[in-house]
Amino acid sequence: MLRLSTVMINTENPERLARFWAQLLGTEPVSEHGDFIWLKAVEGQTGLAFQAVSEPTSGPRRLHLDLVADDLAAELARAESLGASQLADHWSGSFHWYVMADPDGNEFCISPGH
């Protein structure tokens, strides 16, 4: 049986993105090896890591993270204060979410917790 252990994000600046995501998720880098930085996985969550590449992955969006927030407005504001930008907000029936971009332009979504 396979288990998802880490979501790896290619970036030209792994230190900057690791710092952004560590602050946003309330964790810290746990390991660095060469061009890789791993964040300490928050209990019950999948790990997140960053790999240095000479050019970012091009083409259509192939991967994004979905995050939930108990206090949506506060978390949107905090993400923006850390360098994220809001790209869009969407509704599907009664479900509402915001599409955000990290400092490298990688998209992620924040929705209200259930």
Q: Given this model, what pLDDT does residue 53 score? A: 84
CATH value of 1-55 in 3.40.50.720, 3.40.50.10480, 3.30.720.120, 3.30.420.40: 3.30.720.120
What digits encode the pLDDT tens for the residues 53-108? 887 666 656 677 888 899 999 999 999 999 999 999 988 888 888 999 999 998 88
Q: Given this model, what pLDDT does residue 20 score? A: 97
What digits encode the pLDDT tens for the residues 64-77? 788 889 999 999 99
For the domain bounded by 64-114, which CATH number is listed? Answer: 3.10.180.10
What digits encode the pLDDT tens for the residues 19-50? 999 999 999 999 998 889 999 988 888 889 99
- The answer to pTM > 0.85 is no
Positions of CATH 3.30.720.120 in the chain: 1-55
In contact, 65 and 82? CB cutoff 8 Å? no
